[in-house]
Amino acid sequence: MPTLVQIQLYPLTNTLNRLEWLGDQHITMKVPTKSELVHLKIQAAMREHSFPEEEMKYLGIRDGEHWYLVANEHEVPVTDIEEFEFAGEVDGDDK
């Protein structure tokens, strides 16, 4: 006979959300921070679309933060990027 499992979700008060199972089994799940979500969003857009390096380039991790080169002149940590939305391909034929 299958064992009945009860899941209780706790409110998110920090970056960890704990799921508690009946029978003293505990699972801890890491919830990404806002800057981690922005980084993942940028990485997904860069993977799915071709970005010229002079527009956006990933520089790697420095002091535990992801860094980007924006507009080929500004080195910016992902924590300083408030939001990222990919607006689509820009047509260079507009005059």
The rounded percent of the chain whose pLDDT value lies above 90 is 34
Q: What is the pTM of this model?
A: 0.61
The rounded percent of the chain whose pLDDT value lies above 70 is 61
Element (H, E) at 35: helix 34-48
Higher-confidence position of 58 and 12: 58
How far is the C-alpha of 8 from the C-alpha of 94, rounded, in Å?
55
For the stretch 25-36, pLDDT in tens is: 566 667 888 999
Statement: residue 12 has pLDDT above 60: no
- Terminal-residue alpha carbon distance, the chain: 71
For the stretch 54-83, pLDDT in tens is: 888 999 999 999 999 999 999 999 999 988
